[in-house]
């Protein structure tokens, strides 16, 4: 293991932690433009984080240790996921630690710990949010797994780094099955990251909340960590999407050196900028669905993924 790979691993994690709030800020800005509002500055999420870190934490009287440690655990799992996902290069020392299925598991760990923390104080909204979040989780997982199954059938691996290597080594023609899988993945991404058809990140109406209802009791540095972790989660999902469907620019196995890295950083930034704008567009064009329509939405994602699988198995494409 050369010093360069370790440097790249470290750099990738730091970059991920650093630009995740920026990505969230970019989406918010695009949304504001599309909705004819005056946009908040691009650095607004960082200002929020600074403000929150400087405040006094207000903790409910009977909050247990579980409640206080969960923000750190959330942040930890998301940072670890950012270290495993090949956002810049595939030669990562940590890439072998978990394949894509284990990454889903890691995200599930984060989800369950936040849901448990939300139930800890015992408020009506917290438990309601926990229940809804777990419901979205179990509906989204089969669809996500089918997407990965599809990728496995194409390239014979579930490790994201190997997938990227195999994809760039093979050809640049898009398989028809991949298109179905990509749409399914996009739908799951929106649902898992509390984005608009399922949940509204900007809502102030408690009864419709999912993610926000779970974090109502958090304040100050705990809330800052939770918010940072959720922007990292969105960043991670976007990077998984890039690795699965748009792997161009990611430094592949053996492509060491500064130029490849520079190219990878540029490619990542471009992809994030476009993806952010696209997400904002989707969110502006669609309305939030009722919570009981969520199963239909995610069943749709599942069916699309299965269709991709069948296209691959039947047509061999």
96 binds another protein (CB under 8 A): yes
Which range of residues in 31-39, 152-160, 170-178, 240-248 is near another protein by CB under 8 A?
Answer: 152-160
Distances in Å between the Cα of 67 and the Cα atoms of 121, 233, 256, 300 are 8, 20, 43, 35
Q: Which one, 88 or 209, has the nearer CB to another protein?
A: 209
Phi and psi angles of residue 288, each rounded to the nearest 5 degrees, phi first: -70, 135
Which range of residues in 38-46, 131-139, 172-180, 262-270 is near another protein by CB under 8 A?
Answer: 131-139
C-alpha span between 313 and 317 (Å, rounded) = 8
Q: Which one, 48 or 143, has the nearer CB to another protein?
A: 143
115 binds another protein (CB under 8 A): yes
Of the candidate residues 22, 88, 92, 146, the single one contacting another protein (CB under 8 A):
146
Which range of residues in 22-30, 32-40, 72-80, 232-240 is near another protein by CB under 8 A?
Answer: 72-80
Please name the residue that has the structure tokens 């760039």.
Answer: 168
Which range of residues in 4-12, 34-42, 113-121, 182-190 is near another protein by CB under 8 A?
Answer: 113-121
Distances in Å between the Cα of 31 and the Cα atoms of 186, 272, 284 are 18, 15, 7
Among candidate residues 248, 186, 231, the one with its CA nearest the CA of residue 81: 231
162 binds another protein (CB under 8 A): yes
123 binds another protein (CB under 8 A): yes
Phi and psi angles of residue 169, each rounded to the nearest 5 degrees, phi first: -75, -25
List all residues 6 or more positions away from 68 whose beta carbon is below 8 Å from its beta carbon. Answer: 59, 222
Site string for another protein, 204-243 (x = CB under 8 A): --x---------xx-x-x---x------------------
Report the C-alpha dihedral over residues 171, 89, 187, 99, rounded to 10 degrees. 100
Neighbours of 289 (CB within 10 A): 14
Which range of residues in 95-103, 186-194, 238-246, 262-270 is near another protein by CB under 8 A?
Answer: 95-103
Site string for another protein, 255-294 (x = CB under 8 A): -------------------------------------x--
List all residues 6 or more positions away from 266 whose beta carbon is below 8 Å from its beta carbon. Answer: 249
Least distance to another protein from the beta carbon of 195, Å? 20
316 binds another protein (CB under 8 A): no
Q: Which one, 132 or 233, has the nearer CB to another protein?
A: 132
Q: Which residues lie across from 251 on neighbouring strands?
A: 89
315 binds another protein (CB under 8 A): no
* DSSP code string of 128-165: HHHHHHHHHHHHHHHHHHHHHHHHHHHHS---HHHHHH
18 binds another protein (CB under 8 A): no
Among candidate residues 314, 303, 292, 311, the one with its CA nearest the CA of residue 142: 303
152 binds another protein (CB under 8 A): yes
C-alpha span between 263 and 184 (Å, rounded) = 29
303 binds another protein (CB under 8 A): no
Least distance to another protein from the beta carbon of 87, Å? 16
Interface positions, 182-201, toward another protein (CB under 8 A): none
Of the candidate residues 14, 42, 43, 58, the single one contacting another protein (CB under 8 A):
58
Q: Which one, 146 or 261, has the nearer CB to another protein?
A: 146
Q: Which one, 198 or 275, has the nearer CB to another protein?
A: 198
């Amino acid at each position: 293991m050369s010093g360069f790979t370790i440097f790249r691993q470290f750099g990738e994690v730091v970059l991920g932690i650093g630009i995740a709030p920026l990505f969230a800020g970019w989406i918010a800005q695009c949304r504001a433009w599309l909705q004819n509002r005056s946009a908040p500055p691009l650095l607004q999420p960082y200002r929020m984080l600074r403000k929150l870190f400087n405040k006094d934490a207000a903790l409910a009287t009977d909050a247990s240790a579980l409640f206080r440690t969960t923000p750190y655990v959330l942040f930890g799992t998301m940072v670890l996921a950012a270290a495993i996902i090949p956002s810049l290069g595939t030669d990562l020392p940590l890439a072998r630690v978990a394949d894509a299925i284990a990454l889903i598991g890691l995200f599930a760990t984060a989800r369950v710990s936040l849901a448990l923390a939300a139930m800890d104080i015992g408020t009506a909204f917290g438990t309601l949010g926990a229940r809804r979040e777990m419901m979205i989780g179990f509906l989204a997982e089969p669809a996500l797994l089918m997407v990965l199954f599809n990728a496995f059938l194409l390239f014979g691996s579930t490790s994201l780094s190997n997938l990227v290597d195999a994809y760039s080594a093979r050809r640049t023609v898009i398989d028809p099955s991949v298109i179905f899988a990509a749409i399914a993945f996009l739908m799951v991404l929106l649902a898992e990251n509390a984005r608009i058809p399922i949940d509204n990140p900007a809502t102030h109406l408690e009864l419709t909340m999912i993610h926000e209802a779970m974090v109502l009791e958090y304040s100050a540095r705990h809330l800052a960590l939770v918010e940072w972790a959720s922007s990292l989660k969105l960043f991670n999902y976007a990077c998984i999407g890039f690795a699965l469907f748009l792997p161009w620019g990611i430094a592949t196995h053996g492509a060491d050196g500064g130029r490849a890295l520079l190219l990878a950083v540029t490619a990542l930034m471009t992809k994030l900028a476009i993806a952010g704008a696209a997400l904002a567009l989707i969110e502006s064009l669609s309305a939030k669905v009722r919570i009981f329509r969520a199963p239909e939405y995610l069943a749709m994602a599942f069916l699309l993924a299965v269709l991709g699988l069948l296209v691959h198995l039947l047509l061999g494409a």
